[in-house]
Chains A and B, each alone.
Chain A
């Protein structure tokens, strides 16, 4: 630490809490644990502040200050940096203070690289990354962070919440503004894993390309809106319904054929213990039938169920279609 950063005791009321220019991490909703820790252990690492316009702004330690306010403290020990410290150096301090405590999340990396990009280019960010981020970032990854950082709200929040994966964000960043908006809207309303997000993006874009329409025009159709706006449905269930609907729209014939085969298999009534599966993608002719048996009685029962299905019309249709 440079000698210009000196420890001071200041009034908390002298801190301008509205200035969050150096805030990187997303605020903890519940700071009661931190507040309790400060009460019992005291402040171990003082926040870093910068004097500005007769007030102080926080460079690092937003949650600590909030927790002390929660504890109704009126003063705080801080590191006060030299007022002449450049914006760039303040930014470096804000990032390093956090990055050398713990690895930054992807959302935090996005925020940091965007801010750094105001001062240095992406190659320079990559070069300096070990000293700033406590980890090496390649120029390409920095480029991705910057691209994703340019996505409109609520992209960053969705990434932070885990509702928009980095890969999905990167994918949608290539699209036109309207298309980006619809995906951010979708992922605000559903909770899907990365693979499911990518599938949803892929199907919507492919349907739009196939039908020569804008993704927004497809997105606005009533079925999609009904799924997404259904307040009674859990986000997970909405994801399933949306994926089913999109699959049906993207592959109408495959969908119908699969449904038909499924219905036929169900109609054979082989019982719950017998698994009768069609070939993968219906591309080969090999169906698989399997069952488990714990004893001879169960084995016999399954064989009898299979025998009972032999003359079933649906079974014959499946193999002779």
Chain B
């Protein structure tokens, strides 16, 4: 989606990062005193979410740059660390929780490579493995064509050995990443779905084929990969379609290059339903067989989740028996029935993922 309005926080100095960004965005920047102007501009629109996707606000991160993923109660969390580089997204996925998460949603780019660098240096000095990602509140690579940030992050992570950077995307914005010296510390991850879901629910994203071709290209440059089947959507014959996607992954890339695959079915805060119904009138995803989960999120009825998980995990394991497959936010019963064990102890899942990170990304194994 094209940015048609660009706001810049007055406090942001016009340095190389900003000049580079502005010169490539092709929009006249408007300097603003505070976020209110931006909020008002977005809230004035009938579809404020759509408006927010076309309105970029370049500002500073006024909160924590690095923070632990909040996870959710009652379901097992992977102890991920979030590098907060921006918010919201230019693509328009019907199921995107960010539509309901921010009030109002604002597409923010957090400028300040130095600030990022300082925060990261502190983390690099800790005697602990960190899996750090920028794809929690935004897509990691939406600004790749116009920003120096991805290059900065990849090269910064390349100079240490206790942290892995995961760049999670639905784009194929990889061109500037290819020549970089990443020292295996960056994992490029793609969220995957079936072609049906991509075309009906993931407006503005790259096709499955394009994502896998991009994965193959970064793999050829030594980058490690990850894939996220999240959210899996249950619809007639979806098992066949998801298994085809799994098959395609291994037609494009080698199992050894994949650090992990996560899977999770569609779950959402109740208020997202209204947003989907209003903004995506032809979407049928809110009409699955959902129940209210223990964490007050709406999720598929458990037997349905277990059924699709079992099939897809079996399929993945057929191609790559040793590949780390994990659930994002599932409980003991699901783990045991689908994977055969449950990381019961606090931090156990995180530790398993750390081990995979160390193995694939040449991190310091003494820190495990």
Please give the residue numbers on chain A whose beta carbons come within 8 Å of chain B beta carbons, in ascending order.
Answer: 206-207, 209-210, 212, 251-254, 257, 281-285
Say whether B289 contacts A283, CB under 8 Å.
no
Cβ contacts under 8 Å, B332 to chain A: 285
For residue B327, give the distance in angstroms from its CB to the closest CB of chain A.
15
Among residues 240 to 260 in chain B, which have CB atoms less than 8 Å away from a CB atom of chain A? none
A209 to B293, CA, bound (A): 23
B287–A257 CB distance below 8 A: no
* Contact code string B332-363 (vs A, CB < 8 Å = 1, else 0): 11000000000000000000000000000000
- B113 interface residue, CB < 8 Å from A? no
Known: A253-B301, A254-B301. A283 touches B287 (CB 8 A): no
Q: How far is the CA of A206 from the CA of B290 in the complex (A)?
A: 12
Chain B residues near A282: list those with CB within 8 A: 291, 301-303
Instruction: Show the binding face of B for A, using Cβ within 8 Å.
Output: 74, 284, 286-287, 289, 291-294, 299, 301-304, 331-333
Are the CB atoms of A210 and B284 closer together than 8 Å?
yes
Cβ–Cβ < 8 Å partners of B284 in chain A: 209-210, 212
A257-B292 in contact (CB<8A): no
Q: How far, in angstroms, from A151 to B284 measured CA to CA in the complex? A: 28
- Closest residue of B by beta carbon distance from A208: B287
Distance in Å from the Cβ of A251 to the closest Cβ of chain B?
5
Contact check, B294 vs A283: say whether CB atoms are below 8 A apart: yes
CB–CB B301/A281 < 8 A: yes
| With known contacts A283-B294, A285-B333, A251–B301 Cβ distance under 8 A | yes
Distance between A256 CB and nearest chain B CB, rounded to angstroms: 10
Please name all residues of chain A whose beta carbon is closer than 8 Å to the beta carbon of B286 when the two chains form the complex. 206
B333 & A281 in contact (Cβ 8 Å cutoff): no
Whether A254 contacts B291 in the complex (CB less than 8 A), given A282-B303, A283-B302, comes out as yes
| Majority SS at the chain A contact face | helix
Which of B74, B289, B293, B299 touches A254 (beta carbons < 8 Å)?
A: B289
Report whether B289 and A281 are in contact in the complex, using a CB–CB cutoff of 8 Å: no
For A206, give the chain B residue with the smallest CB separation. Answer: B287
Complex: A285 Cα to B335 Cα, angstroms: 13
- Enumerate chain A residues within 8 angstroms of B291, measured Cβ to Cβ: 254, 281-283
Min CB–CB distance B301 → chain A (angstroms): 5
B331 touches A257 (CB 8 A): no
CA distance A254 to B284 in the complex (A): 18
By beta carbon, the residue of chain A nearest B304 is A253
**16 more A-B residue pairs beyond the given contacts A281-B292, A283-B299, with a C-beta to C-beta distance below 8 A:** A209-B284, A210-B284, A210-B287, A212-B284, A251-B289, A253-B301, A253-B303, A253-B304, A254-B289, A254-B291, A257-B303, A281-B291, A282-B303, A283-B291, A283-B293, A283-B294
CB neighbours of A251 from chain B (8 A)? 289, 301
Chain A residues contacting B287 (CB-CB under 8 Å) are 206-207, 209-210
25 A-B pairs with CB atoms under 8 Å apart are A207-B287, A210-B287, A212-B284, A251-B289, A252-B289, A253-B289, A253-B301, A253-B304, A254-B289, A254-B291, A254-B301, A257-B301, A257-B303, A281-B291, A281-B292, A281-B293, A282-B291, A282-B301, A283-B293, A283-B299, A283-B301, A284-B294, A285-B331, A285-B332, A285-B333
Residues of B within 8 A of A285 (CB): 331-333
Q: How far is the CA of A252 from the CA of B289 in the complex (A)?
A: 8
Question: In the docked arrangement, what's the CA distance between A59 and B32, Å?
Answer: 60
Which of A251, A253, A257 neighbours the largest number of chain B CB atoms within 10 Å of its CB? A253
- CA separation between A210 and B284, bound complex, in Å? 5
The 5 closest A-B pairs by CB, nearest first: A281-B291, A210-B287, A206-B287, A251-B289, A254-B301
B237 to chain A, nearest CB (A): 15
What is the distance, in angstroms, from B78's C-beta to the closest C-beta of chain A? 20
Q: Output the least CB separation between A154 and chain B (Å).
A: 28
B304 to chain A, nearest CB (A): 6
**Nearest opposing residue in chain A for B303, CB measure:** A257
Complex: how many Å from CA A282 to CA B294?
10
How far apart sit A9 and B269, CA to CA, in the bound complex (Å)? 67
Q: Which residues of A contact B293 (CB under 8 A)?
A: 281, 283
Measured CA separation A209–B283 after assembly (Å): 9
Min CB distance A249 to B, Å, is 11
Instruction: Compute how far the CA of A212 lies from the CA of B287 in the bound complex, rounded to whole angstroms.
Output: 11
Residues in chain A near residue B289, CB distance under 8 A:
251-254
B290 CB to nearest A CB, Å: 8
What's the nearest-Cβ distance from chain B to residue A285, in Å? 5
A253-B299 Cα distance, complex, nearest whole Å: 14
A101 to B4, CA, bound (A): 58
List of A residues within 8 angstroms of B299 by Cβ: 283
- Complex Cα spacing A206 to B284, Å: 9
Query: A284, B301: Cβ atoms under 8 Å?
Result: no
Interchain CA distance A207-B284 in the complex, whole Å: 10
Whole-angstrom CA separation of A223 from B1 in the bound complex: 47
A283 to B293, CA, bound (A): 7
The docked-state distance in angstroms from the alpha carbon of A209 to that of B289 is 14
| Minimum CB distance partner of B74 in chain A | A284
Q: How far is the CB of B345 from chain A (nearest CB, A)?
A: 18
